[in-house]
Amino acid sequence: MHSDDRRATRFWFIFLLLVGFLAAAAARAETIDPKEPDYIGSQRCGACHKEELSAWRGSHHDLAWTYPQDGQTLAPFSGETFSHKGVVSRFYRDGDRARVSTDGPDGKQTEYDVKGVVGISPLQQYLVEIRPGRLQALDTAWDALKKRWYHLYPDQDLPSSNGLHWTGPYKSWDARCAECHATGFKKAYDTNQRTYKSTQAEIGVGCEACHGPGQAHAAWADKPVGFDADAWSNVGKTGLTMNFSVNDASLELEQCAVCHSRRSQVGADTPTPGSDYDDHYGLSLLRNGLYHPDGQILEEVYVYGSFLQSKMNQKGVRCSNCHEPHSATLKAEGNVVCTQCHSPAGNPSFPTLKKATYDSEAHHFHKPETPGAACVSCHMRTETYMGIDKRRDHSFQVPRPDLSEKHGVPNACSDCHSDKSANWAALEIKARFPQSRIGQPHFADILATAWQGIPVPSKLLVLAADKSKPPIVRASALTALASVSSEKVASEAVIHLSDPDPLVRRAAIAVQRGANPQDRVVRLIELLDDPVRTVRIEVARSLLDARIARLPERYSGLLSKAMDDYKASLKATADFPGTQMALAGVALTGRQFDAANAAFREAIEMDPQLEQAWIMLARIQAAFGRNEEAIAILEKATRLNPGSISIFQTLNDIRKGEKN
């Protein structure tokens, strides 16, 4: 063969090898780095899903957050004034702009443009920008039913220096609210400026807030044949990150719970729909001030924590069995929404449900079509939040007026028959339902005692171990138990560290504080590879003060990763005063006093009513011999918290120490 021919052959051979190598590399890269689908907007979704989009339009989800320019303001803004505790707010228009004049961060009367509209009924709130990058929700809202302005907290009389003032951190839109009023929300907090540059794919709760970003799904819809789900990150066969059609009801419940629950956050951004709830949120358990000891709602705890207590949850009922998810309305009117299952015909989806007639006077003992004949009147009590917003308890309890007698909890009978005693109601129920639970033990008997400051470890341990009780109740018993833990209690509670439910495992961690230091470490490090992130973070937090000389390499790496997750969760919520307190605590544990000092200062800058932050800040100064500075700190704290006994006592202690 001619030399030129050999060179040409060699060239093409090398060229083909190179092409093959690059193709293989590209294939590997595509496999290793699947594409994250983008959000495409509800309007694009509606091009195919016309009926769903039509049902969603005008719903509470659609109107969870709108702009005033879109004509969504229900209040007239025609010069009305509203006075509350000496502060006069005026609502007016400047051309097309809705405006408000009210007290600002410095207490002075200030004029603001309305930048956002929240909700539609029964009330509507308005957002203003107190400075660039700082949206706040006004405490004066519009009553959409009575057509009037009113104050959300009529008994509060707060100066602008109070952290609970409408300009404070607890009314920050980005920190407290936006995630559940937007789609694809990404919080971006500037710690130096205390402002935000947050973004969202869409304001309002759109299609993709529940179904996940739609780019991959749109690609599947355009060309279903040949669609490669593996080319996209965490999508199913049709390109969606969330699958509502699966038999596991918990997936749907957790997706709804992202917003319809009282919880703490792990990350700054809304997790992609389909993500595990417990990886991103720590659900608030039953505790004094949030719930009544029998599990009924008290504070604004939303729905998920209540529903987890119900028999419906245990039997696999999901939100969409009762609620039409696109219009956000009930699937039927009145008792029909209940009798689609609770009837002589039953429901084949729930074969263990007792078939019987419930919508009759023989069951509810009230005249048909009266309020007392409504299923929800007895089994879904309401509590009123934000002044006028009545919300129903979703634990679906059978009325127990006998518990009202014992523990002061509310009951549905007394809500209507306010002229009669709870004892009368208990006797009536017992007479009409001889097999009722009136008089029988209830977990409220154990929790109520614990919440009154008299926890009985043996009873709390029995409740925690009772598998017939919902996991949220068992976890709440463990939380109460943690305050009185001992080596014996910690030893008996070890079994709960391996409970199937992450709520129980997470709550069991704190009980181990009663163990001796070595046993505590040995028991908890086994949870460092727990499949749930909030459990691993709780382990890391619990081991901050542990004296660990050396861990096996495997556990050392897991602990380091869990600590990183914990620190990341604190960073993600650095705009919360409580997080600054936690950061200070972490710093103190590591004897990083400058960092602790900075975090305590940031906490009181956000919320001057955090008494413990002032006290700890002063004690740090005193510990380093800076008594004059400590006294100055506490004198300022006293001016901002004139009724604080703990600050006053600390100030006296440091003054005495200085004299001595």
DSSP sequence for 625-644: T-HHHHHHHHHHHHHHSTT-
| H helix intervals, 499-544 | 502-511, 517-524, 533-542
Reading the block at residue 411, the tokens are 């009951």
3-state secondary structure of 63: coil
Q: Do residues 42 and 56 touch, judged by C-beta distance below 8 A?
A: yes
Question: Which contacts qualify for 95-102: CB closer than 8 Å, 24 or more apart?
Answer: 96/69, 97/68, 98/68, 98/73, 98/126, 100/126, 100/128, 100/138, 102/138, 102/140
* pLDDT for the residue numbered 333: 93
Give me the amino acid identity at 367: K
User: How many Å apart are CA 398 and CA 420, to the nearest integer?
Assistant: 19
Task: Label residue 408 exposed, middle or buried (CB < 10 Å: 0-12, 13-18, 19+).
Answer: exposed
Task: Label residue 397 exposed, middle or buried (CB < 10 Å: 0-12, 13-18, 19+).
Answer: buried
Beta bridge partners of 195: 190
User: How many Å apart are CA 495 and CA 502, to the nearest integer?
Assistant: 13
Q: Which helix (H) or strand (E) holds 587?
A: helix 577-589
Reading the block at residue 552, the tokens are 């096996």
Backbone phi, psi, residue 649, to 5° = -65, -40
Reading the block at residue 596, the tokens are 């602790």
Backbone phi, psi, residue 243, to 5° = -120, 105
* pLDDT for the residue numbered 121: 97
Reading the block at residue 568, the tokens are 């990341």
Q: What is the end-to-end Cα distance of the chain in Å, rounded? A: 106
User: How many Å apart are CA 59 and CA 205, to the nearest integer?
Assistant: 10
Q: Which residue has the tokens 């749109």?
A: 218
User: How many Å apart are CA 307 and CA 392, to the nearest integer?
Assistant: 11
Reading the block at residue 22, the tokens are 């690059």
Query: In the chain, helix, strand, coil percent, each to 5?
Result: 45, 15, 40
Q: Is the peptide bond before 344 cis (omega within 30 degrees of 0)?
A: no
Q: Give 77-132 as a DSSP string.
A: -SSEEEEETTEEEEEEEETTEEEEEEE-TTSSEEEEEEEEEE--SSEEEEEEEEET
User: How many Å apart are CA 57 and CA 636, to the nearest integer?
Assistant: 52
Q: Is residue 90 left, alpha or beta, with left meaning phi > 0 and alpha meaning psi from -120 to 50? A: beta
Reading the block at residue 574, the tokens are 């650095």
Backbone phi, psi, residue 84, to 5° = -145, 115
CATH domain 577-659 topology: 1.25.40
DSSP 421: -
User: How many Å apart are CA 255 and CA 276, to the nearest integer?
Assistant: 8
CA distances to 187, 260, 413, 572 from 279, in Å: 18, 16, 40, 14
* pLDDT for the residue numbered 660: 58
Nearest CA to 60 out of 116, 127, 117, 121 is that of 121
Q: Give 188-222 as a DSSP string.
A: -EETTTTEE--B-SEES--HHHHH---HHHHHHHH
User: What is the rounded radius of gyration, in angstroms, for the C-alpha atoms of the chain?
Assistant: 29
Number of H helices, E strands in the chain: 29, 18
Nearest CA to 647 out of 619, 622, 628 is that of 619
CA distances to 290, 482, 556, 567, 590 from 548, in Å: 36, 22, 10, 19, 13
Q: Do residues 242 and 208 touch, judged by C-beta distance below 8 A?
A: no
Backbone phi, psi, residue 490, to 5° = -60, -40
CA distances to 49, 137, 332, 401 from 339, in Å: 30, 40, 10, 25
pLDDT tens digits for 65-102? Answer: 999 998 999 999 999 999 999 999 999 999 999 999 99
User: How many Å apart are CA 173 and CA 176, to the nearest integer?
Assistant: 6
Crossing angle of helices 533-542 and 553-572, in 10° steps, is: 100
pLDDT tens digits for 497-545? Answer: 999 999 999 999 999 999 999 999 999 999 999 999 999 999 999 999 8
Q: Do residues 407 and 422 touch, judged by C-beta distance below 8 A?
A: no
User: How many Å apart are CA 368 and CA 339, to the nearest integer?
Assistant: 14
* pLDDT for the residue numbered 17: 46
Average pLDDT of the residues of the chain: 93
pLDDT tens digits for 324-335? Answer: 999 999 999 999
User: How many Å apart are CA 394 and CA 382, to the nearest integer?
Assistant: 10
Nearest CA to 324 out of 315, 333, 314 is that of 333
Q: Which helix (H) or strand (E) holds 141?
A: strand 140-143
Q: Point out the residues of the chain with pLDDT beneath 70.
A: 1-32, 658-660
3-state secondary structure of 265: strand
Q: How many CB atoms lie within 10 A of CB 568?
A: 13
User: How many Å apart are CA 130 and CA 340, to the nearest integer?
Assistant: 50
Q: Is residue 653 left, alpha or beta, with left meaning phi > 0 and alpha meaning psi from -120 to 50? A: alpha
